Amino acid sequence: MRASDTEVLTPGSAAQAVEAFGDGRGITVFAGGTILMPEIAAGRYPRGGRTLMLDRAGLDQLDQLGGDGTVAIGAMVPLSKLAGSRIEPLAAAAREVGDLEIRAQATIGGNLCAPPAAESPRGDLQAALLAMGARVRSAGKAGERTESVEDFLARSEDETRLVLAIEVDKPRRASYLSLRRPHAHSYAAMTVACAQNDGNGGVRVAAGGVAPRAKRLHGVERALAEGASGEDAAARALDEVDPQDDALASAWYRRNVLPTLITRALEQLQGG
């Protein structure tokens, strides 16, 4: 990418970032850069258009993390800060992303919005956010809105949004497991997150690496609510996932391992 290929916008506040983003057409958001830098190196960065360059040093409104029962997380909060928090299962998911350098640069907003790649799934935090029932505040066409993370991930690919903040309720119990290649700083082949908000509430279960974006596994949740064992409930996941072959794992392998990963995550949840 050459400087002449794109117009670079450098907002000095969250309000300026929203104004510069507009309806999102023809604009690429550059925050931590952990996803875009490899794209630039490979010559796949979009040419022309505009680049919205977000710098944590000048956008402290988007770099805040706070709250007790309900936690507000700015879109620019780095994964290293999440990894050191007690916001489970999100903290566990953040601790397993890449390495120290990647976690220091990558942001929760960028990870949530990470587009699926041909060579591997992305968005290692998506399953944890789905299990927690997170809400996403974003800006774009028709202004700002807050919606469930499930609705946010299900939006049309043509609808571009600028994430401003994510809100989560700390669950009473939570668990997180991932399937990764040993000694590799790559994306997880699969992730599973479970959360239960109170003693009488149902268990929420979500998985990543089983579809283009992470999915909440409603069939598994219903089976658990009906009294099924963790193993029997986990088997229901195969009815609602569509894993693909990629550089990290085959679809066949994912389908065979997923029920075991879910069963173990449910056992971990009960033990917590």
Structure confidence by residue, pLDDT tens digits, 237-267: 999 998 989 888 999 999 999 999 999 999 9
Which of the pair, 227 or 57, is modelled with greater confidence? 227
C-alpha 49/C-alpha 26 separation (Å) is: 5
pLDDT at 246: 86
What's the pLDDT at 120? 59
- Higher-pLDDT residue of 95 and 36 is 95
Q: Cα separation of 216 and 154, whole Å?
A: 11
Mean pLDDT of the chain: 89
d(CA 189, CA 122): 9
Q: What is the pTM for the complete model shown?
A: 0.92
As a whole number, mean pLDDT of residues 144-154 equals 96
Task: Return d(Cα 18, Cα 144) in angstroms, integer.
Answer: 9
pLDDT at 265: 98
User: How much is the average pLDDT of 195-218?
Assistant: 89
CATH 3.30.465.10 fits 3-271, yes or no: yes
Q: Which one is predicted more confidently, 199 or 219?
A: 219
